[in-house]
Amino acid sequence: MRSGDRKAADTVANARLAAIVDSSVDAIIGKDLNSIITDWNRAAERLFGYSAEEAIGQPMLLLTPEHLHDEEVDIIGRIRRGEGIASFDTMRKRKDGSLLAVSVTVSPIRSSSGDIVGASTIARDITAAKESERRIRLLMREVNHRVKNQFAVILSMVRETNKRSANPSEFEDMIRARIMALSRSHDLLVTSEWAGASLFDLIQEHLKPFGHEERISLSGPLLTLQSNAVQNLGMAFHELGTNSSKYGALAGEGGRVEITWTVETDSQARRLFHLAWQEMSNADAGDGEPDEAVRKGFGTVVLERVAPQSLSGSSSLERSPGALKWSLTAPLEAIVVPQLGAETEGDFGV
């Protein structure tokens, strides 16, 4: 190839390379062997906030947090030895002083004679990826905590159910139903990435297996429950629904279940959550063993001890012929997701 043609080809190649560098979505920075910035593309301007005029001629330490200054010294030392530096994650500093997470790759720049004259640095913003990793770690810790908690609950269920089961078949049926109830609460939390669940959805999900939706009414403000409240109230609704379908309002004709909840402020300016389950039925409804499951079974443990204690509250369970009422009072902060509890009154049918 003639000298003129070679020069023309080199000019075209250099122009093409410059266009690629300038249009890259990654910040591409050139520097000499003294770590002085020599080249600065548009992506670098967007990422770090400095224009090319402001950055070129400045040391790379302009972009390096003080506690990482030794990192730049190590990088330029390796470049001088002809070593490339594979991608690594680090922190860099913007013009406004804020820090951002970046993935950095550094490679030597050689002259036409093969001498190392500088280095090219490619920096990619990985802030979103790091935030995603942080959220996943947080979620996994939450899931791990909840799974361990559910193991403890299941062991308690097995122990208490075994004490009150007449035979292995009855034990299997009861423990399966209770574990499935825990699973319903778990599914609601997984759907929301453990951010909570609405009280309405929780009640609806746990009472759905018992049917008779037209005989169940809900009334109260719209609330988003914390995961702990989802699990413990879910257990309570399952036990109440099971009892009602066997011995109470949902076992015979004409019975009704009313579930109401309110948020109030007491005399000491504390915000309290009040919930009441009340059912009315014919005195002879059911199979002749009225309220036996709640009176002697694991349901009593859940309603009178497990749920109120887990929510830092108190409860009462009242029975009379053809009627049952369970009420719970607890601090609002133990029930709702912070700042997400709304107090717009509304009546809902399951």
pLDDT band at 293 (very low <50, low <70, confident <90, very high): very low
Q: Which two tokens stand for residue 255?
A: 């019975």
Tell which wins on pLDDT, 288 or 337. Answer: 337
What is the mean pLDDT of the segment spanning 37-56? 94
Q: Are residues 275 and 165 located together in one domain of the fold?
A: yes
Least confident of 113-122, 182-191, 218-227: 182-191
Q: Are residues 97 and 215 located together in one domain of the fold?
A: no
Whole domain around residue 143: which residue ranges?
Answer: 130-349
Element (H, E) at 348: strand 347-349
pLDDT for 20? 54
pLDDT for 290? 45
Residue among 309, 169, 296, 166 at smallest CA distance from 239: 296
Q: Read off the CATH number of the domain in which 274 is found.
A: 3.30.565.10
CB 249 within 8 A of CB 256: yes
Q: Are residues 261 and 248 located together in one domain of the fold?
A: yes
Return the residue matching tokens 């070679």: 6
Q: Look over the chain and give the mean of its residue pLDDT values, rounded to a whole number.
A: 84
pLDDT for 2? 61
Residue among 235, 232, 205 at smallest CA distance from 218: 205
Considering 8-12, 64-68, 244-248, the range whose residues carry the highest mean pLDDT is 64-68
- Other residues' Cβ atoms within 10 Å of the Cβ of residue 7: 11
Residue among 91, 98, 116, 89 at smallest CA distance from 30: 116
Residue among 171, 239, 172, 231 at smallest CA distance from 202: 231
Residues 6+ apart with CB under 8 A from 28: 21, 39, 41, 43, 44, 120, 121, 122
Would the pLDDT of 113 be above 80? yes
**125, 144, 168 - which closes a domain:** 125
Q: Read off the CATH number of the domain in which 112 is found.
A: 3.30.450.20
Would the pLDDT of 156 be above 90? no
Q: Are residues 169 and 198 located together in one domain of the fold?
A: yes
Tell which wins on pLDDT, 349 or 164. Answer: 164
pLDDT band at 345 (very low <50, low <70, confident <90, very high): very low
pLDDT for 117? 93
pLDDT band at 160 (very low <50, low <70, confident <90, very high): confident
Query: pLDDT digit string (tens) for 197-206?
Result: 999 999 999 9
**106, 125, 144 - which closes a domain:** 125
Please report, rounded to a whole number, the percentage of residues in the chain having pLDDT higher than 70.
85
Would the pLDDT of 310 be above 70? yes
Q: Are residues 35 and 94 located together in one domain of the fold?
A: yes
Q: Are residues 82 and 166 located together in one domain of the fold?
A: no
Element (H, E) at 90: strand 85-93
Q: Are residues 189 and 322 located together in one domain of the fold?
A: yes
pLDDT for 187? 86
What is the mean pLDDT of the segment spanning 221-225? 93
Q: Are residues 94 and 202 located together in one domain of the fold?
A: no
Per the structure, the count of domains in the chain is 2
Query: pLDDT digit string (tens) for 93-103?
Result: 999 999 999 99
Query: pLDDT digit string (tens) for 166-194?
Result: 788 888 888 888 888 888 888 888 888 77
Cα(279)–Cα(257) distance, integer angstroms: 4
pLDDT band at 56 (very low <50, low <70, confident <90, very high): very high
**68, 92, 125 - which closes a domain:** 125
Least confident of 144-153, 180-189, 193-202, 297-306: 144-153
What is the mean pLDDT of the segment spanning 105-123? 92
pLDDT band at 12 (very low <50, low <70, confident <90, very high): very low
Q: Are residues 146 and 285 located together in one domain of the fold?
A: yes
Q: What global pTM score does this model have?
A: 0.60
Q: Are residues 60 and 167 located together in one domain of the fold?
A: no
Amino acid, single-letter form, for residue 2: R
Least confident of 145-149, 221-225, 263-267, 313-317: 145-149
Q: Are residues 105 and 163 located together in one domain of the fold?
A: no
Q: Are residues 61 and 160 located together in one domain of the fold?
A: no
